[in-house]
Amino acid sequence: MKDALSFRKKHRAHWGLSSLAAEFIRKSSRQKRLGQLALSSLIIIPLISVEAFIRELNVRQNYADLYSDNPGTVRQAALSLVEGCSQIETRQWHNFWPSIYLNPLKLIAERIFGNCRSLANQSLDGAQLQNAEMSRANLFRANLAGADLSRISLFNANLVGINFTEANLDTAGLAGADLAIANFSKANLRYTSFEDADLRETDFTDTDLSQAFFSTEAQLGEAILCRTVLPENISFDPNRDCDE
């Protein structure tokens, strides 16, 4: 093959190769490229498999660390698990692949942006997550009672059924989040942003919403209000649900 290519290059000006010879060279070149690709695959695929295995070990360790007695360890584990959700969920990588079990696009996205794993049903009561970036994360029915969530970013997150009882959400960003049936009883909601959030059956018992931000009064139309301090521009009865 090498001699044929050399001959063709040297004598191209004098005479052309026959069609059979040209076809031989073309097929041989293609076969060589395929061989190189196969060799590369033999090297790359095992490396990817090892990297994926190590990544999953780290993810499992992060989930285990959520139960640590060290607040710093819990914080680091939680942030590592949801890292990249704001980018991955925005682009909806899961919609571009038919299988939910093996999505190479999502696997690639995780390696670029971060793990973006679910914190659904996790117990994070008392967690120190102030200033954390957790937008678009999945915290479905998670427990964050008594947690410090001041200045946290939870924009467009799945917070359905979450427990925020007595949590500190001072200046927290919850705009666009799904907060249906969430519990904010006795939480600190000073300057908390609720714009465009879903607040159906959200419990605001014994909370002060006077300095919180809402898109419209209608957002609180189906929320649970009992001994609730409302903003001046909200006309609902702050005790309308106390007897239910």
131 inside domain = yes
Could you tell me which of 109, 92, 108, 216 has the C-alpha nearest to residue 156? 92
Are 88 and 186 part of one and the same domain? no
Could you tell me which of 93, 166, 83 has the C-alpha nearest to residue 132? 83
Q: What is the pTM of this model?
A: 0.75
Task: Give, as one character, the DSSP assignment of residue 229.
Answer: B
Asked which of 85, 113, 141 is the last residue of a domain, the reply is 113
Residue numbers of the domain that contains 230: 118-244
Are 124 and 105 part of one and the same domain? no
Instruction: List the chain pLDDT tens, one digit each, 244 residues.
Output: 445 445 445 555 454 445 655 555 465 566 656 555 555 545 444 545 555 667 788 899 999 999 999 999 999 999 999 998 887 765 555 554 454 445 556 666 666 767 889 999 999 999 999 999 999 999 999 999 999 999 999 999 999 999 999 999 999 999 999 999 999 999 999 999 999 999 999 999 999 999 999 999 999 999 999 999 999 999 999 999 998 7
